Each structure stands twice: as C-alpha cells, then as structure tokens.
Amino acid sequence: MFSKGDKINDRYEIIKLIGEGGMANVYLAYDTILERNVAVKVLRGDLADDEKFVRRFQREALSASSLSHPNIVEMYDVGEDNGNFYIVMEYIDGQTLKQLIKKRGHLTVPEAIDIMLQLTDGLAHAHDSYIIHRDIKPQNIMIEDNGRIKIADFGIAMALNSTQLTQTNSVMGSVHYLPPEQANGKGSTVKSDIYSLGILMYELLTGSVPFKGDTAVEIALKHMKEKIPSVRKQNPTIPQSVENIILKATAKNPKNRYNNVRELHDDLKTALDKDRANEKRSYADETA
C-alpha cells in the first residue's frame, strides 16, 4: 500500500487511496511531469507474483492504450516500480454504475437507453480496433456527474480473462455478466461483450442481476441453461421493444445475438419510437 506523498516511478505522487479491489488498489495521484491528476491502479499480491499474468497484463494494457474515445477511460502509462506493477489512467471524478444502481435501485427507461447508447458507442470503437473487453460489468463502468459514461479496465479485463483466476470476489463480481460460451470455457468474441451488455441493461432497468446463486459455478450454470427472466413482468411500463433488445443481446447461442455492437446501438436508437410501441415479444433463441 502507498501513503500520501509517496511517489511511484519518481513521477506519480500519491494523493489518496480511492478504491480497493481483489485485483488492484486505485490511487488518486499527481503526475509531476505533465502536471495533472491521474488514477494509478497498482496490481495486488498474487497477481503481481504471477509472471505470466504480469507479462500479459502489460501487453494488453499497452494494446488498450491505443484506444481514444470519449466513452473509454484513457490509459496513459503502464510500468513497474520496485515490484509494483501499475497502470496510469485518466482520473474520472464520478462513481461506478454499480454504485449508482445501489443508490437508485433502478433507472428510468430513457436513462438506461442513454447509458447503453454511450456504452455501445465506446465498445464499437474498441471492437473496430480488434479489442474485446471480456469483463463488462457495472463495477468497470464510471459515470461522471454530467452523465457521461466511461468504460474502464480494458487492459486488466483482457489479461485476467486468460489467466486462471482464483480470487473469489473477482469471479463472483464478473460471473453475473458471464456469457454462456465463456462459462463453457470457449473463447471470447465481440458477441461475448454483447451478452454482458444485455445483462447490464437488465440490471439498469430492474436494479438486480437476472441470475443469482451461492457460488460462481451455480450462477455460471444458470447463464448456460436458464431463460432470462422478463423485465416487463417486474415493470410492465417497460416497452416490449426494450425487452426485445435484452432478449436478443442475451441469447444463449451467440449466433442469435446481434452481429456486432453497432447493430445493437442502432436498435437502441429506435427503441422508443412510436412505430415500435406494439412490437411483439421476440425470444431470439426460439426464433432462430
């Protein structure tokens, strides 16, 4: 752990600890060279001791640092100082979507669609650069006071996904958004991110995740086998066109999901149009 006034790499002066997680501690720091506040994420314990993971983390973080989009947290630097592996990012003065959902319970339909449009815009940019996030969840998404959404943790998410991760809290946090193909041990594609987005949209509208359980395995099995509950049963004011987007994004078979994030983005744009008001319920896995 670092304390106020400590310097990382003789450049980033620690102001305060702003977050603790199973994978990393996050500090607000001052970049003494570029004279600006930054967020510094320092890998914790056994992850930093895993040489294979560290190499992959550094590679993935560098790859993600090429992304430049208003809805993606910008990565500035990645390095190591006295055995501490760190990543330096844009500092976002806001809260995570998870914190917002906990505070509010659930969001209105227009709010959820606005957030989803920003998320899909940012992810489409990443996918265009052949970068899949692989760990989309509200804990990894920041919202600023002005409502702007920022997707975080690209480098860490990509590296973690290909490492045997044993930290229960990290797995439990992610398993609620886990695509069936990932639960099955198959590789991730852009459609894996689409599934996680669908689960996230469900949570924005209802205030809870669709599949719960006492263990990560139990939840993963539900993603593979159980139908997603109806958001309209919980809140009948949600239009069918909006529920249909969730159903298509979270199809068990990736072939039945949107072909890409832009397709999902375009569907979201027209979800509240009057001509879609009487749309029929469409369950992607059944219609394909």
Half-sphere exposure of 167 (CA within 13 A, CB side): 15
Rounded to an integer, what distance in angstroms lies between the CA atom of residue 65 and that of residue 181? 27
Specify the residue for token string 């509240």: 272
Give the number of other Cβ atoms within 10 Å of residue 187's Cβ.
Answer: 11
Exposure pattern of 150-179 as b/e (b: 16+ CB <10 Å)?
bbbbbbbbbbbbeeeeebeebbebbbbbbb
- Neighbour-count burial of 52, counting CB atoms closer than 10 A to its CB (0-12 exposed, 13-18 middle, 19+ buried): exposed
Rounded to an integer, what distance in angstroms lies between the CA atom of residue 162 and that of residue 165? 8
Rounded to an integer, what distance in angstroms lies between the CA atom of residue 247 and that of residue 195? 9
Rounded to an integer, what distance in angstroms lies between the CA atom of residue 288 and that of residue 282? 10
List 6, 31, 46, 135, catalytic entry: 135
Q: Is 275 a catalytic residue?
A: no
- Neighbour-count burial of 264, counting CB atoms closer than 10 A to its CB (0-12 exposed, 13-18 middle, 19+ buried): buried
- Residues forming the active site: 135
